[in-house]
Chain A
Amino acid sequence: MLDIEIDGKQVQVPAGSTIMDAAQLIGVYIPHFCYHKKLSIAANCRMCLVQVEKAPKPLPACATPVTSGMKVFTHSELAINAQKGVMEFLLINHPLDCPICDQGGECQLQDLAVGYGGSASRYDEAKRVVFHKDIGPLVSMQEMSRCIHCTRCVRFGQEIAGVMELGMANRNMHSEIQTFVGRTVDSELSGNMIDLCPVGALTSRPFRYSARSWELSHRKSVSPHDSIGSNLTVQVKSNRVMRVLPRDNEEINECWISDKDRFSYEALNSGERLQKPMIRVDGSLREVEWNIALDYVSHALTDIARTHGGESIAALAAPSATLEELYLLQKLTRGLGSGSVDFRPRRRDFSSEGKLAGIPWLGLKLSEIKDLDAALVIGSFLRKDHPLFAQRLRQLAKQSGQVSLISVTGDDPLIRLHSRMTVSPADLTRALAAVVKAAARIKKVALPVGLESVEPCAVSQAIAESLLAGEKRAIFLGNVAEQSAQAAQLHALASLLATLTGARFGFIGEAANSVGGHVARALPTALNAYEMFAQPRQAYVLLGIEAELDCYNPHQAVAALQQAALVVMLTPFKHEAAPDYADVLLPLAPFTETSGSFVNTEGRIQSFNGVCRPLGDARPGWKVLRVLGNLLAIPGFDYTSSEQVRDEIVAPETVFVAGLDNGIGDLALSSDPASKGLQRIADVPIYFADPLVRRGAALQQTRDAAAPTARMCAATLVQAGLSDGSQVRVRQGQGEALLTAKADESVPAGCVRVAAAHVSTAALGDMFGPIDVERA
């Protein structure tokens, strides 16, 4: 620790700190633009110049390391003169039209200019004009004359997003931030550049000129989009969500959010919002009042339970439903006499059921990732499934952590990888088994039964070695591993590998309540999410589910729904397919219009309030389910608040839920060679993944929202008698889809990558498994 003095105040800081670090420690504000705590130091804006005793020149606080006994003056004449001088330079070419700038009111340059700027400009030459650019639907570069060249956006791309899409071209005062010849910015984290931009150069394209910052009220919320539970500030004007920004939480999302967290709010205001309950009358859906709709549902459910037995009813919830909704749904279903309730619609393999030691979770805290020496991720489209989790691994790899990947496509995670294996979905178990075997050999431990036919390759050997070196290591199972038909095998193998190597292991988790659903016990005692469609029921209650997009086998799910006597959907949206099978639509309040809780992948429970009133007659799910419970005369449904529901599930004041345990009981291991024939790989593209992002207008214009194609490597294309660009018919059982074939070397041989969660592929079957492709 070093002792230094800033503006007469003593402060102790660790060696290697900068003056800026030290000043922040004691709450002394030093003006700055280019400095950002999460980015490398550029020291280019020169706004943070301060006086240091014995230094003849002012020094940049952001870049100057402290030395013992240093005396810093942030407000001396020398410092203030330097800062004012820099401010004048920043302003000479900057448009001085704050009133018409979208950033007005929340501009760091504007704020500081008030303190450091002169009253009149001494510069009366023509100002620099920088041509606007189009870099895609999310981030606007309309006002590049406002850019002050701090390069935060460039450094963000290089360092945080892991891809350099923006750069500063040219030199001198013609320096310009731009993409490579008119390209778009496609990073799934791109919106953070808007926050980083201290002026109005990069702005939110959907938000631009729709409101002034001071008209917005700021409300806290939590993202429903992935298992991280990113903290949000939702900005509301006249009961309408206008903008979503990250809320700093170092333990969770740091200061970032992904683009889906940021831009999905457009769906909340979309014309597709369901604003009134609807009931099928004479074949078509008609709007009705709530009391009529609920009466209808309770009578119909009672009837069906009476005539066909409780087990003829099944309930399925989205894993992004709130903890309270999930809890009440399972309570209601059980009250009706059915054990067929689930919240994992994209799961196929349930053979670990009954063998789980506790609630599957990440296995460690998110904030512990940075301290790992090695990490292995199995079966994940990392960047697109978990943008911020991937970001943490990216930082880890940049430090000295070794990150390895076993995945089903060669997608670039933009992480410096230690090693990677890309195998077909059916080969995931063999690949993981090979690592297990390699680890067992290194440790000289007896090889587990069932893995005899596996032979470790150089890569599995390297992965095993990396998991055995260093202090802290972890193994993570991604969405594909959980959706896989061998999910239980993968779970057991990962568990075994963890035991062998001393690594922690866990699940990244697909959605906001992938852990919460377990906590809420929204788990089947009869038919699970797959079986409830494989064995069609008389009645279905769907909560936040769009069956043709959200299920493992949409073809089968829709068929089951179509034959059912009653399908009740609690949904925020009218959607195209619903008229086919839905009998009742109940307008469900989305996360911004209800209170509730999410339990993130590390088991952290985060409760939130609605940020605005429900739109139209939409109602919070917990209230709808409570009234239904009452109407059905199921005991224990007398809640007056969602907090009361929550307190019934977890003890008050809980931060991390109890019962987290990834242990799995004995499971026979097998590593049979992969089956023959073409296999489907279904990714769930980032902007198709849930009902909100599907309706985010701007998100839908990104490259990530491009319609699915049938992607195969050249060898597979040739084998199938196809070429890049052929129109093809892909078929799984009864279901088929017409797509364009695309050559893609990142897809393993013998596989076809056909995305799920899109209308064009909704008629298909299992996400993974056999698939036929033929020229259309």
Chain B
Amino acid sequence: MLTTESLKRIDREIAKYPVEQKQSAVMAALAIAQEEQGWLSSEAIEFVANYLGMAPIAAYEVASFYNMYNLKPVGKYKLTVCTNLPCMLSGGVDAGEYLKKKLGVGYNETTPDGRITLKEGECMGACGDAPVMLVNNHRMCSWMYPEQIDKLLAELE
């Protein structure tokens, strides 16, 4: 189900917790599975659950609670724009609108070429850099004014 590389990373996470508390690694394990496969299929969630010795529905509870997990397939790049108030005051909402127009899709939609899924996000703890957006959960982009957005889009092939 997962590559040995991913399993190795998961094992490293498991080792952080007391032996009888493997379940503690579920968040990291789901993130790793998602990194590998782009999204969390129910097979992937069940695999992780079994790997950690927890009920599949318990792993699903986690996967559906935290909003950085993709329970449906997304584009090659998931672009999450923060529109929360501090960002909004400095252009977060405008940046979202700008992206919608450029990409021709709305929030929670994917460009027809399957490249980019646009998402609206909550505060990312980087309000001083507003407008901010995340690429595939792990790469944060700061001060995303039109010019920077254009540059980013050109880069995301």
Contacts and interface: CB of A to CB of B under 8 A. Distances in A.
Q: Do chains A and B touch in the complex (CB under 8 A)?
A: yes
Interface of A: 163-171, 178-181, 183
Given A165-B55, A167-B55, A183-B56, 14 more contacts: A163-B55, A164-B57, A164-B58, A166-B57, A167-B61, A169-B64, A170-B64, A170-B65, A171-B64, A171-B65, A180-B42, A180-B57, A180-B60, A181-B60
A181 B58 contact: no
Given A163-B55, A164-B55, A180-B56, A169 B61 contact: yes
A198 B94 CA distance: 46
B46 interface: yes
B61 A168 contact: yes
Nearest to B43: A181
Nearest to B65: A171
Interface in B41-75: 42, 45-46, 55-58, 60-61, 64-65
A165 B55 CA distance: 8
Contacts of A167: 55, 57-58, 60-61
15 contacts: A164-B55, A165-B57, A166-B57, A167-B57, A167-B60, A167-B61, A168-B61, A169-B64, A170-B64, A170-B65, A171-B64, A178-B57, A180-B60, A181-B42, A181-B60
A164 B60 CA distance: 12
Nearest to A169: B64
A34 B1 CA distance: 39
Contacts of A180: 42, 45-46, 55-57, 60
Nearest to A166: B57
Interface residues of B, number: 11
Contacts of A164: 55, 57-58
- Which of B46, B57, B60, B65 has most chain A Cβ within 10 Å? B57
Contacts of A168: 61
Contacts of A163: 55
Contacts of A170: 64-65
A587 B109 CA distance: 66
Contacts of A166: 57
Closest 9 CB pairs of A and B: A164-B55, A167-B57, A180-B56, A180-B57, A181-B42, A169-B64, A167-B61, A170-B64, A171-B65
Contacts of B46: 180
A590 to B, nearest CB: 37
Contacts of A179: 57
Contacts of B64: 169-171
A169 B60 contact: yes
Contacts of A171: 64-65
A448 B64 CA distance: 59
B52 to A, nearest CB: 13
Nearest to A170: B64
Nearest to A165: B57
Nearest to B61: A167
A738 to B, nearest CB: 33
Contacts of B45: 180
A166 B65 CA distance: 15
A181 B64 CA distance: 12
A757 B60 CA distance: 38
A164 B55 CA distance: 6
A183 B58 CA distance: 13
Interface in B27-41: none
Interface in B80-129: none
B11 to A, nearest CB: 24
Nearest to A167: B57
A165 B65 CA distance: 17
A638 to B, nearest CB: 60
Nearest to B49: A180
B19 to A, nearest CB: 15
Contacts of A169: 57, 60-61, 64-65
Contacts of B58: 164, 167
Nearest to B42: A181
Contacts of B61: 167-169
A178 B64 CA distance: 12
Nearest to B46: A180
Contacts of A183: 56-57
A731 to B, nearest CB: 37
B22 to A, nearest CB: 15
Nearest to B66: A171
A168 B46 CA distance: 16
B34 to A, nearest CB: 17
Contacts of B55: 163-165, 167, 180
A183 B45 CA distance: 14
A193 to B, nearest CB: 14
Nearest to B64: A169
Contacts of B65: 169-171
A167 B45 CA distance: 14
A427 B3 CA distance: 42
A175 to B, nearest CB: 9
B108 to A, nearest CB: 14
Nearest to A174: B64
A167 B26 CA distance: 16
A644 B58 CA distance: 55
A183 B60 CA distance: 12
A362 B64 CA distance: 46
A167 B58 CA distance: 7
Contacts of A178: 57
A179 B58 CA distance: 10
A24 B45 CA distance: 43
A178 B71 CA distance: 15
A167 B65 CA distance: 11
Tell me which of A163, A167, A170 has the highest count of chain B C-beta atoms within 10 A of its own C-beta. Answer: A167
A41 to B, nearest CB: 19
A760 B108 CA distance: 53
Contacts of A165: 55, 57
B84 to A, nearest CB: 16
Interface centre among B58, B64, B65 (most CB of A within 10 A): B64
A166 B55 CA distance: 10
